Structure 1
Amino acid sequence: MPRTVTLVLVDHAGAPLGALPPYDVPEPWWQEVTSVVTGARRRYGLDLAVLRLLAADRPAPPGGHLTYLAQVYDLRSVPLEAVSVDLSPHPLRAPWAEPGGPAGSVAWATAELDRLGRPVTAVAQQRTWNLSAIWRLDGEQHTAWLKQAPAFYRHEGAVLRWLSHTVPGATPILLADDGAGRLLLDHVPGEDRYAADVDERAAIAADHHAVQLRAAADVPGLVAAGVPDWRGPALAGWIRAALAPHDTACVDDLLAGLDDRLAEVRRCGLPDTLVHGDLHPGNVRGDGARRVIIDWGDAFVGHPTFDILRLTETLDPATAAALFAAWSARWRADVLGCDPERAVTLLRPLAPLRLAAVYAMFLAGIEPSEHPYHAGDVPACLGQATAEAKRD
């Protein structure tokens, strides 16, 4: 499913210049911009950076006709169409979505790599949307990745620092962190494991158990480092606050017994620990020899059951049951007297409810033009939570 893209160009000061004629790119996913940038270079000889989504002809990804804002660095004689767009400031606009933002971030990353003795010879923009901007930085012998995230993900650097010191090799190597959302990460060979089979998911679960067991002993340190603390009642309060703008009868029903349910979960005896928050196979990268867990922006301190529920959510019940059994056996061996199976039963309807709150948090923290990325996710997760509650 291709995308058709129209680029509205601005100069370094943000002054509008006009729009390029529409052209097609192969990837349907709106946030992927590699082929958007290379398409402009190949067709028009323009060097540019995509800043942000301006409009879409459909309510949600993928595919369709998208209009992006892009900063051009060297405007040549190309056919530009007159266009009327609203380029006024917005308080929730990401720093990389402003003219000069990408160049400033790349300059920071390049300077950090120079300091490390890894001069950059080529830079390629890979992704830009409301949750992150990503660039690939190649040198003669090394590759690094620059990731920039919004304010609600700024604890990812703290998580990666803790992991690198406590469980080395479990995550990508953090080369630098500016404390304001920019992360410089060493390259991890391989590919994102979206297609992981049940055996690989079982191995991921075992790897992650070792991380969570170690993290359970350092919860105060993780909280002190800035990792969100969503233990017990704090999780209930955060979910209620996040979903308040989406108040419906469905939400009211789901929240009615939340505190009692979380109290029952605590009686199951599993320790609070570091939770990845989005542990699907696509957030694991590997090449057969090494496997690491990536994208820790959704991490929080809380109940470990949320991660095994996310890792198994696309599996059929019989296949998932084997992973739950192995996961439960590990916790029973390490925490005497706990009841992992009961925790899974209790938290199953709360997992999609928590995800609905996460998406609601995104919507509250991004500018309206980028709402189509997530607007459908809140009702979808609430619907799943309702279905799970009825089966409970």
Structure 2
Amino acid sequence: MSRAVTVVLVDAAGRPLGALPPFEVPDPWWQQVASIVDGARRRHGVDVAVLRLLDADRPHPPGGHVRYLAQLIGAPAGPGAAGGVPLEPATVDRAPHPLRQPWAQVGGPARSVAWAVDELRRLGRPVTAVAQQRTWNLSAIWRLDTPEGPAWLKQLPTFAPHEPTVLTWLTTRSPLRARPVDQGVGVGADLPGDANSLSTEEGIEAGPVVLAVGEEGRVLLEDVPGEDLYGAGEGVRAGVAAAHHRVQLRSVGAVDRLVAAGVPDLRGVGLGAWVRERLAGHDVTVAARLLDGLDKRLRRLRDCGLPDTLVHGDLHPGNVRGDDARRVVIDWADAFVGHPGFDILRLTEGLDAPAAARVVDAWADRWRADAPGCDPRRAVDLLRPVAPLRLAAVYAMFLAGIEPSEHPYHVHDVPAALAQAAELAQAADTA
């Protein structure tokens, strides 16, 4: 599957110039823009910075014909032309929107890249090339090449700014560094070092190295060579689960400090209030019974005896990146403080039932050893329908925080997640 794209250009003052002739790009996912930037340069000889999605000919990704707004880099050759390329007439709503992210505004990409270039220069790493990779409502990403290897600039939305806090805690000896647990459970009393070092015995690190943190959600990250491990099998996932368990153990004693530093607090029945608040205004009829009993279910979950911890929030294999020598858990933007069972459920999605059961059994054995008296299997059973219910609330939070033109990214996710939650709750009730 591919995409057809139309790139509507504006100048440095935000004045519409017209649209480049439509062209095809090989990747179907709307937020991926590297191929758009490359296509504009190769096909039409112009350099652009993609700002945001304008509209599409289908209600949701992937594929289709998609229009983007992009800022022309360099002065236009004349009215109705860019770099000598005739432009087609195009209309653009130039009105500002209060939910528009900084990188989606004219001049926004240039300001972010300039900050990253300055930070890398300060670190003795002059930038030799910059390549825009992604832009959508949840992030903007650029690769910056240096003689010492690439670095990555990621910019986060105003409604989810806490990833740098989590990464700093995971990978440095900061004031928020994890320390031995002292919460009435037998976990991690004498674990040395920082949280990142705990996971290296499985060859999996807890997060990429933070090089700098700036304003407007900017974070500069060290490169992680390799590939994202989408489709990884049982063995890789079992290794991720074992490494992640050690990070979660170490975070038990730091949850209050993480929450104080801005990491979302979804502990206990507080999760229920958080879910209901974000789903207000959405049709939740399909999951009404689950929502009505949610607080009772969360109290039963608490009685299973597992401690609250740092939760990745989206721990699928695609968020593990690396090669045979090194693997790193990436993309902690959905992290929160809450129940550790959320991550094992996400990690085992897509495995066949026997393989998933083996990974969950090993996870449960680790928690029984480190938190004596807990009941991890019962906790997972109780949490299974809550996981997609939380995701429905996350998608609703995204919709509430983005401008309407970008709603197609998530608008269908809310009812789909609610339906899955209801189905899992019904299956558990009839088992």
CA distance in 2, matches of 1:234, 1:116: 42
Task: Tell me the residue number matched to 1:230.
Answer: 266
CA distance in 2, matches of 1:154, 1:127: 17
**Superposed, which structure 2 residues align to 1:275-294 within 5 Å?**
275-294=311-330
CA distance in 1, matches of 2:394, 2:401: 11
Task: Tell me the residue number matched to 1:9.
Answer: 9
Amino acid corresponding to residue 272 of structure 1 in structure 2: D
Is 2:196 the counterpart of 1:160?
no
- Contact 2:241-2:344 at 8 Å conserved across structures: yes
Amino acid corresponding to residue 112 of structure 1 in structure 2: E
Task: Tell me the residue number matched to 1:26.
Answer: 26
Moved more, 163-172 or 80-89: 163-172
SS of equivalent residue, structure 1 residue 54: strand
Task: Tell me the residue number matched to 1:248.
Answer: 284
Task: Tell me the residue number matched to 1:350.
Answer: 386
Task: Tell me the residue number matched to 2:106.
Answer: 99
Amino acid corresponding to residue 371 of structure 1 in structure 2: H
Amino acid corresponding to residue 177 of structure 1 in structure 2: V
Moved more, 156-165 or 105-114: 156-165
- How far residue 87 of structure 1 moved from its aligned partner, in angstroms, is 2.3
1:80 to 76, 84, 87: 87
Map Cα deviations across residues 44-92 of structure 1 (whole Å, 9 max, x no partner). 1101100000001001111000000000012322110111222211100
SS of equivalent residue, structure 2 residue 113: helix
TM-score by length of 2: 0.90
SS of equivalent residue, structure 1 residue 8: strand
CA distance in 2, matches of 1:119, 1:153: 30
TM-score by length of 1: 0.99
CA distance in 2, matches of 1:140, 1:235: 46
Task: Tell me the residue number matched to 1:273.
Answer: 309
1:330 to 366, 372, 384: 366
- How far residue 218 of structure 1 moved from its aligned partner, in angstroms, is 1.1
- Contact 2:102-2:216 at 8 Å conserved across structures: no
- Contact 2:5-2:66 at 8 Å conserved across structures: yes
Task: Tell me the residue number matched to 2:44.
Answer: 44
Amino acid corresponding to residue 99 of structure 1 in structure 2: V
Task: Tell me the residue number matched to 2:186.
Answer: none
Task: Tell me the residue number matched to 2:200.
Answer: none
Q: How many residues align?
A: 392
CA distance in 2, matches of 1:14, 1:254: 48
- How far residue 247 of structure 1 moved from its aligned partner, in angstroms, is 3.2
SS of equivalent residue, structure 2 residue 132: strand
CA distance in 1, matches of 2:394, 2:29: 20
- How far residue 319 of structure 1 moved from its aligned partner, in angstroms, is 1.5
CA distance in 2, matches of 1:248, 1:329: 36
Map Cα deviations across residues 87-106 of structure 1 (whole Å, 9 max, x no partner). 21110001000110000000
The root-mean-square deviation of aligned C-alpha atoms, in Å, is 0.9
Is 2:323 the counterpart of 1:316?
no
- How far residue 179 of structure 1 moved from its aligned partner, in angstroms, is 4.6
**Superposed, which structure 2 residues align to 1:171-250 within 5 Å?**
171-250=207-286
Map Cα deviations across residues 359-387 of structure 1 (whole Å, 9 max, x no partner). 00000000010011111111110110011
CA distance in 2, matches of 1:25, 1:176: 33
Map Cα deviations across residues 102-123 of structure 1 (whole Å, 9 max, x no partner). 0000000000000000110000
CA distance in 2, matches of 1:131, 1:42: 28
**Superposed, which structure 2 residues align to 1:123-134 within 5 Å?**
123-134=130-141
CA distance in 1, matches of 2:321, 2:210: 15
Map Cα deviations across residues 194-240 of structure 1 (whole Å, 9 max, x no partner). 02111000000011001000001111111111111110121111100
- How far residue 251 of structure 1 moved from its aligned partner, in angstroms, is 3.6
SS of equivalent residue, structure 1 residue 92: coil
Which is richer in helix?
1
- Contact 1:157-1:179 at 8 Å conserved across structures: no
Amino acid corresponding to residue 275 of structure 1 in structure 2: V
SS of equivalent residue, structure 1 residue 151: coil
Task: Tell me the residue number matched to 1:108.
Answer: 115
Task: Tell me the residue number matched to 2:55.
Answer: 55
**Contiguous gaps of at least 5 residues in structure 2:** 77-82, 173-193, 197-204
- Contact 1:348-1:388 at 8 Å conserved across structures: yes
CA distance in 1, matches of 2:148, 2:170: 26
Amino acid corresponding to residue 96 of structure 2 in structure 1: P
Map Cα deviations across residues 22-46 of structure 1 (whole Å, 9 max, x no partner). 0000001111111100110011110
CA distance in 2, matches of 1:253, 1:82: 52
- How far residue 253 of structure 1 moved from its aligned partner, in angstroms, is 2.0
Amino acid corresponding to residue 137 of structure 1 in structure 2: L
Is 2:331 the counterpart of 1:298?
no
Amino acid corresponding to residue 209 of structure 2 in structure 1: I
Amino acid corresponding to residue 58 of structure 1 in structure 2: R
CA distance in 2, matches of 1:134, 1:18: 26
Q: Runs of 4+ in structure 1 displaced over 4 angstroms?
A: none
CA distance in 2, matches of 1:309, 1:4: 36
Task: Tell me the residue number matched to 2:412.
Answer: 376
- Contact 2:131-2:143 at 8 Å conserved across structures: yes
